[in-house]
Chains A and B, each alone.
Chain A
Amino acid sequence: MKSPKVDELSLPAFPVFVERGKVREFARATHAEAREYWSDSAPSPPPTFLTTSSWWADSANTVLDQPHFDRARMLHAEQEFEFFGPPPVAGTALKAKQSVSNRFTKVGKRGGELVFTVVLTEFRDHEDELVAVARSTVVETTEAAI
């Protein structure tokens, strides 16, 4: 079977649960000082917390695990999180889905082609409302990264 073009990839959605213990662990790992992560029963997590959604995904849901990509040549260039209200609090059940929102090429400083891919992850609540998106820009180099 021929694999679909990268911008036409349609990967299955996967459930993501915002867990209180994970929020604490992540707050501790990112040197957070706010006591609410420990004292509140349903704290809003730190801004980059949804990066932990990879714990809920497998390669079938993950854009960068598709055969179009070579992780060994890949660097993380940019990362953005956008929330359409307060970030989903501990206890929230979400549904996530990844797609490629952009792919483009630039010539690197030392020559050679740099291929940029923007991976979009959409997070929806139980009413199917879009509550957050993550945009991850990765760059693949034609030589080993760095």
Chain B
Amino acid sequence: MGAIAAGDVTLGTVFAPRVVSGLTLTDIVRYQGASGDLNPVHHDAEYAQARGYPGPFSVGMLPAGILGSYVADIFGASSVRRFSTRFVNIVWPGDDVICAVEVESIEHLGPTEVDVHLKLGVTNGVGLPVISGRALVRLDQG
């Protein structure tokens, strides 16, 4: 993989956001099947309402996963060394998932290797933060 060269990354680089418009219940079900977390509160309306929620809502790991896959699309999945997320607000079906990736700092490890520290965030369509995060990717210019 390696979608980007270390020389192309500069401090403060803000990548174009990845936008998933209107997350669907099918997106949630597909993720639940893939991940193995089949908690019905995320897809069964009756079950969710019986527990006091207005309806089913996304697994937090789905927007986190979309964010992670976006980081991997930019830098290459093999370059990722750390990926951390904090769940701030719930994502509901119909919400947009807007992923932001920004270069926070760059560390030169040797003549060819650099560590790129990233600041990450996911907001919904109305600007509410749903995830804040950090990542570390290791790039090799050699």
Contacts and interface: CB of A to CB of B under 8 A. Distances in A.
Interface stretch (A4-12, A50-58, A96-104, A107-115): A50-58
B14 interface: no
Contacts of A65: none
Contacts of A82: 81-82
A91 interface: no
B73 A33 contact: yes
B86 A46 contact: no
Interface residues of A, number: 39
B53 A146 contact: yes
Given A25-B34, A29-B35, A30-B66, A48 B81 contact: no
Q: Range of interface residues on chain B? A: 35 or more
Contacts of A47: 68-69, 71-72, 77, 80, 83, 135
A81 B52 contact: no
B81 A46 contact: no
Contacts, number: 125
A78 interface: yes
B94 interface: no
B84 interface: yes
A87 B77 contact: yes
Interface stretch (B5-13, B56-64, B105-113): B56-64
A46 B87 contact: no
Interface in A10-56: 22, 25-34, 36-37, 40, 43-48, 51-52, 54-55
B81 A83 contact: yes
Interface of B: 1, 3, 18, 20, 27, 30-31, 33-37, 51-53, 60-62, 64-66, 68-73, 76-87, 90, 135
